Amino acid sequence: MLDFKEELAKLVSSKFDSLKKEDILELIEIPPQEDMGDYALPCFKLAKLFRKAPNLIAEEITESIGNNQYFASINNVGAYVNFFVNREVMARTVLEEILDKKEEYGSANLGKGQNVVIDYSSPNIAKPFHVGHLRSTVIGNSLYKIYEFLGYNCIGINHLGDWGTQFGKMIAAYKKWGNDEEIRQEPIQTLLKLYVKFHEEAEKNPELENEGREWFKRLEDGDQEAERLWKWFVDLSLQEFNKIYDLLKIKFDYNTGESFYNDKMEEVVRLLKEKKLLKKSQGAYVVDLEDYDMPPCLILKSDGATLYPTRDITAAIYRKKTFNFVKALYVTDYSQSLHFAQWMKVIELMGYDWADQLEHIPFGRVSSEEGALQTRKGNVILLKDLLNKSIEKVRKIIEENNPELDNKDEVAKKVGIGAVIFNDLSNSKIKDIVFNWDRMLSFDGETGPYVQYTHARATSVLEKATYRVEKIKDYSLLTEEEAVNMIKLLQQFPEIVIKAMERNEPSFITRHIIDIAQAFNKFYHEYPILVDDREVQQARLLLVYGVKTVLKTGLALLGIEAPDKM
């Protein structure tokens, strides 16, 4: 597609031998107001090079370029050169590319098939899949789709929390109070009750903690009974988790939990010793990180048991050997930032030159209005309940507003789940979220259902048209201000997708498709589409097609479906 920014940089650099295209590209800005142009070139940084006042440089650039096919006008205001894009050229370029590429518009081969590993979701076995897990799941899934769209080969890993002392506690609780029939009927809820009861009883009788540790030690040592129960808890949990993943339409390439690395950690500990990185501290083994302003990274407990850092270091080395990634992303909440900084520094100290390919993607935490969500206290909001409540709410809205709609249940599912995902991805990922049922399920304003409805509206207009969408001859028919605003937003979409990847921030796409939906609805209300004038109708249908296509692609990159009817 014609890149006006690129053409601007070429134009300016071609007139001055001392200016390189790359330098100009870095200086170009988008003005804050439309009447200041589509692009602006500030000349302050050029003053030293030209040994002139910035406003004189701006005048010289304006005069030297003159008229050209890409920009309808170029003028300077003070130290700025303002460029106004040729609207007809922009409309032709953008809309014909969308018509040609369809839902691949905005895609690119930046990754050239290189591997990117994305570690996300990662719920804990035998614990409920609650709204706190939603963030890692949907952010990771969206990043997977964005990287893939830009030409990377993505490897999605669900690093399940299936190892650790908590399993010893769970086994101890089951042995004391467990009921097999109750567990089979309501696996996660029953196991959660046992886990909560264990901690309540342990506050009265601290000896219980020792029983939990002993059971975990037996599990590590290969005790048959401990292994049988652990495997049972894992299988039951995965069955429940998969119900949620099926609702969200999320799949992983690998479900490899912490236990997968048990037989690989000994070699890593040996390497750490060999590289003289391990130090003994109060009976435990640590890597000293004092020189990097971090606490020591604990590798082995005093009883020889491994910890999270040991497993994460082992997993990273295994993944590099197996997938030879160019990037490995870890999507977890920001409370784990120190943990990731520590073990990633250990990877670097081990001499691995790929340490800088490891990246923690932190996000804000979810709390309820009563405070933090804590499994051991049982005050969690189940993701299954949230999704089902959202679907149920949409179903009622459909019954009230469009009872004749075909496939009501299917549409309710797409819109209800889309509302929850869009809500989570609509703000910067680092922001904390206080869970509120009404806000989470709101369909008013800048929401997923609003964007989905706009897509359905555009689809309906195209279906009512009497002839198919195709290239047009006269793009001056799309130069009204509202049409131009829409075309500009469509033109920016590929750049927004790249920005979302570079910052690992899906909300860039969320905000952008809201802007497109709002611009379309403004145009739709002010300009009838299916008019008698065939040429005008054809031009406006092409614009509607562009909007429908980009909205569908944008929603797909967020992991949201776009129903054709609502």
In a domain, 42, yes or no: yes
Torsion angle of C-alpha atoms 159, 162, 164, 165, degrees rounded to 10: 140
Decide if 91 contacts 478 (C-beta within 8 A).
Answer: yes
Decide if 170 contacts 233 (C-beta within 8 A).
Answer: yes
What would the pLDDT profile of 160-184 be if each residue is shown by its tens digit?
Answer: 999 888 899 999 999 999 999 999 9
In a domain, 8, yes or no: yes
Q: What is the pLDDT of residue 331?
A: 97
- In sequence order, the 6+-apart residues with CB closer than 8 A to the CB of 191 are 126, 127, 170, 183, 233, 236, 237
Is the domain of 65 the same as that of 147? Answer: no
| Closest-CA residue to 515 (of 536, 543, 490, 537) | 490
| The last residue of a domain, from among 64, 85, 106 | 85
What predicted TM-score, i.e. pTM, was given to this entire model? 0.92
What would the pLDDT profile of 396-410 be if each residue is shown by its tens digit?
Answer: 999 998 999 999 999
Domain that holds residue 487: 439-558
pLDDT exceeds 80 at position 374: no
Q: What is the pLDDT of residue 379?
A: 55
Worst-scoring range by mean pLDDT, 248-252, 275-279, 436-440, 533-537? Answer: 436-440
What would the pLDDT profile of 502-511 be if each residue is shown by its tens digit?
Answer: 999 999 999 9
Worst-scoring range by mean pLDDT, 346-355, 459-468, 517-526? Answer: 459-468
Q: What is the pLDDT of residue 122?
A: 94
Instruction: Please report, for the domain that includes residue 145, its CATH number.
Output: 3.40.50.620
Decide if 154 contacts 168 (C-beta within 8 A).
Answer: no
Q: What is the pLDDT of residue 165?
A: 87
Confidence of residue 450 (pLDDT cuts 50, 70, 90): very high
Q: What is the pLDDT of residue 467?
A: 77
Worst-scoring range by mean pLDDT, 72-81, 156-165, 396-405, 429-438? Answer: 429-438
In a domain, 303, yes or no: no
Q: What percent of the chain has pLDDT over 90?
A: 79
3-state secondary structure 383-410: HHHHHHHHHHHHHHHHHHHCCCCCCHHH
Mean pLDDT of 280-309: 93
pLDDT exceeds 90 at position 304: no
Instruction: Please report, for the domain that includes residue 17, its CATH number.
Output: 3.30.1360.70
pLDDT exceeds 60 at position 378: no
In a domain, 133, yes or no: yes
Is the domain of 474 the same as that of 544? Answer: yes
| The last residue of a domain, from among 359, 377, 395 | 377
Mean pLDDT of 345-349: 98
How distant, in Å, are the alpha carbons of 28, 252, 282, 330, 433 from that of 333? 35, 20, 30, 10, 12
Length of the chain, please? 566
Query: Facing residues of 39 across strands?
Result: 83
Q: What is the pLDDT of residue 371?
A: 52
In a domain, 28, yes or no: yes
pLDDT exceeds 90 at position 34: no
In a domain, 285, yes or no: no
- Cβ neighbours of 246 (radius 10 Å): 10
Confidence of residue 13 (pLDDT cuts 50, 70, 90): very high
Element housing 266 (H / E)? helix 265-274
Confidence of residue 295 (pLDDT cuts 50, 70, 90): very high
Helix axes 54-65 and 4-15, enclosed angle (nearest 10): 100
Is the domain of 182 the same as that of 248? Answer: yes
Confidence of residue 129 (pLDDT cuts 50, 70, 90): confident
Is the domain of 229 the same as that of 347? Answer: yes
Which segments within 256-345 are labelled E, that is strand? 278-281, 284-287, 297-300, 327-333
Of 138-142, 184-188, 441-445, which has the strongest mean pLDDT?
138-142
CA distance 98 to 307: 51
Is the domain of 129 the same as that of 250? Answer: yes
Is the domain of 184 the same as that of 257? Answer: yes
Worst-scoring range by mean pLDDT, 194-203, 442-451, 456-465? Answer: 442-451
Average pLDDT, the chain: 92
What would the pLDDT profile of 257-283 be if each residue is shown by its tens digit?
Answer: 999 999 999 999 999 999 999 999 999
Q: What is the pLDDT of residue 126?
A: 86
In single-letter form, the type of residue at position 305 comes to: A
Is the domain of 333 the same as that of 444? Answer: no
Is the domain of 54 the same as that of 130? Answer: no
Q: Which two tokens stand for residue 480?
A: 């009204």
Count of structural domains, the chain? 3
Is the domain of 363 the same as that of 316? Answer: yes
pLDDT exceeds 50 at position 55: yes
- Cβ neighbours of 525 (radius 10 Å): 9
Q: What is the pLDDT of residue 376?
A: 47
Is the domain of 206 the same as that of 322? Answer: yes
Q: Which two tokens stand for residue 425?
A: 């991805």
CA distance 386 to 390: 6
How distant, in Å, are the alpha carbons of 146, 280, 363, 378 from that of 505? 10, 41, 10, 31
| The last residue of a domain, from among 30, 61, 85 | 85
Instruction: Please report, for the domain that includes residue 508, its CATH number.
Output: 1.10.730.10
Is the domain of 211 the same as that of 330? Answer: yes
Is the domain of 81 the same as that of 220? Answer: no
Please give the DSSP secondary-structure letter assigned to residue 251: -
In a domain, 489, yes or no: yes
Q: What is the pLDDT of residue 431?
A: 86
Q: What is the pLDDT of residue 16?
A: 87
Q: Which residues of 351-364 are buried (b: 16+ CB within 10 A; e: fewer)?
A: ebebbebbebbbbb
How distant, in Å, are the alpha carbons of 120, 140, 332, 430 from that of 362? 11, 11, 5, 6
Mean pLDDT of 26-39: 91
- Cβ neighbours of 422 (radius 10 Å): 24
